[in-house]
Structure 1
């Protein structure tokens, strides 16, 4: 069985042509894989058509897409994709029999029992995984998270919109940044700080609070300046980001106790691994008092996002198709 699998984020679209055994339980074979900048295309259909024209030689009628956002009926409700995503319109534009959509971090969670878990760099906690739930967290264009719960059926994934939780300041400087972002009070989502664009927001806020003009204009420039220690506000912004990520991840860990491990996903974090390793992430992750001992038993890794979202989407689709086939067979037997 050939089908398209994609992982569509706010910055890049990862697309693959994959093949699995006819029984839908074989390993996934990637026949072609490309990464496209989303901003270069007027629509998701155009991005996918570019891949199809370049890489697909045999007829393909099925497609699964992991998208940043939540599936609401025929549409994906999102804040970070550059275009609307409507499933029926996409199916018609591509001439496919089936287009199925799921949340991007739901797909990443389905990849945990595949190559994702073996690809990370250890950040803190025990060096090996336990047998409980696992958590995948990723600051990129936005901030996503999902929980993988192992079971006899192959695992269950719980999706979240955790990035939309309120930002909770910890230090006095955090409070100053929050007051700068919402001078009249009100809602500030945690992804407004803990994301790539959020890092730039934190840098600009810190400059403004000290009465200085921000000279850096991209998250990449901020991380580079922090690594070289050439801009004190960049250094402080990365420190604030890492600490806030630790608090956020620790809060989620207290909700799910993921002794199976936490996987911080994304090339963004991999590029600042050394800064993250020497930051206040672990201290803020552990929180305090009695919960500290429990959180100390949770291992944390940083892993490249890469093709894992595509692999997870394909794994989910195999299960989805197998469930439909089993339901159809039971209905026919009845």
Structure 2
């Protein structure tokens, strides 16, 4: 399996040998063996790639070791991780992680020279001007390339978002925690849901509504409001029941989910004036594209204010996650070369690997 991504000139310190790139979410991890290439318009090549269920492993070290044991014929000395959450010191902090992620421990367990981490949606942002920008189905807005800031947003185990700002050398990607913004109800029904989930008032992030677990929360809350017992146990089951029109609460949960997603995406698009468009990434939304297309997403995305004229010119695509995360992480790693290596030595201080 091979995939390529355009790559700018690399600093001399970039490792010539293959390295690991992993895209680690709350539910799945995608791991690849990457080789920097010297082809026209330098790029990276995927030498091996696998997708794992995080719940099958006791920790990230065991997951990465499983990939190494099955796919590698020679040791690797470098690794870049795109992780849901934020890097604080030498740990990745995320309430939705399957397990703690501690860089020094991973470095020792895998006998690496260096290991570095970035946010998973930041990595997707670095793939925006490559395969991600050429894939997906148009959900709303004009179907044409535009200039300006570009957003990548994805509800999965959590709710991730990043923005790519145009500029020299491909621009700059900013990670965000937009999914932690306060949920703002737009209907009587949504106010009832908010009162049920936060009966004493206070903070309820969008992530608790607009995510896979959030969809299940919506379904269970609607069952409670109607005095019925929930019988669907997973977000996938809720989506399937809504598609089959076999459960009224499931159908309403999906409708509210899509509408709330539209409000959230529109608000973030307004914040960054995302004239370059919005990419909704992940298999979760891709699998329910028909429901999303028939929902109130577009109306809620456009909002009801003067900014509607601007937002109507912002294209919104739905795209599969695929290898974009590992490719974006590899691009970020190679673009930074020696800077990344220096940062990793500081982050995992304790001497060379054994």
Bin of the TM-score, shorter chain as denominator length: over 0.9
Deviation per CA, 1:15-63, whole angstroms, max 9, x where unpaired? 0001013699721100000000000100100000000011011231000
**What displacement does 1:129 show?**
2.3
Q: Does 1:3 align with 2:19?
A: yes
Deviation per CA, 1:281-317, whole angstroms, max 9, x where unpaired? 0000000121100100100000001111011101101
SS across alignment from 2:278: strand
Rounded to whole Å, the distance in 1 between the matches of 2:275 and 2:139 is 15
The one of 261, 275, 291 aligned to 1:259: 275
Rounded to whole Å, the distance in 2 between the matches of 1:161 and 1:40 is 27
Any residues of structure 2 matched to 1:235-254 within 5 Å, and which?
235-254=251-270
The question of whether the paired residues in 2 share the 8 Å contact of 1:147 and 1:157 is answered with: yes
Relative to the length of structure 2, the TM-score reads 0.90
1:332 aligned residue: none
Rounded to whole Å, the distance in 2 between the matches of 1:71 and 1:113 is 25
Question: Tell me, which stretches of 5 or more residues in structure 1 are unaligned?
Answer: 327-334
**What displacement does 1:132 show?**
0.3
2:352 aligned residue: none
Relative to the length of structure 1, the TM-score reads 0.95
**What displacement does 1:81 show?**
0.8
Q: Does 1:60 align with 2:76?
A: yes
SS across alignment from 2:318: strand
Rounded to whole Å, the distance in 1 between the matches of 2:142 and 2:41 is 32
* Moved beyond 6 Å, runs of 4+: 22-25
Question: Tell me, which stretches of 5 or more residues in structure 2 are unaligned?
Answer: 1-15, 343-354
Rounded to whole Å, the distance in 1 between the matches of 2:224 and 2:303 is 29
2:200 aligned residue: 184
Cα root mean square deviation, aligned: 1.6
* TM-aligned CA distance change 1:73 to 1:97, over 3 Å: same
Rounded to whole Å, the distance in 1 between the matches of 2:262 and 2:307 is 14
SS across alignment from 1:28: strand
Q: Does 1:97 align with 2:113?
A: yes
Q: Does 1:307 align with 2:323?
A: yes
Q: Give the total of aligned pairs.
A: 326
The question of whether the paired residues in 2 share the 8 Å contact of 1:137 and 1:264 is answered with: yes
Any residues of structure 2 matched to 1:42-53 within 5 Å, and which?
42-53=58-69
The question of whether the paired residues in 2 share the 8 Å contact of 1:68 and 1:104 is answered with: yes
Any residues of structure 2 matched to 1:28-43 within 5 Å, and which?
28-43=44-59
The one of 269, 290, 294 aligned to 2:310: 294
1:316 aligned residue: 332
Deviation per CA, 1:44-101, whole angstroms, max 9, x where unpaired? 0000000001101123100000000000010111111111111111101110001010
1:231 aligned residue: 247
Q: Does 1:162 align with 2:178?
A: yes
Rounded to whole Å, the distance in 2 between the matches of 1:243 and 1:97 is 47
Rounded to whole Å, the distance in 2 between the matches of 1:325 and 1:36 is 27
The question of whether the paired residues in 2 share the 8 Å contact of 1:24 and 1:319 is answered with: no
Rounded to whole Å, the distance in 1 between the matches of 2:197 and 2:333 is 41
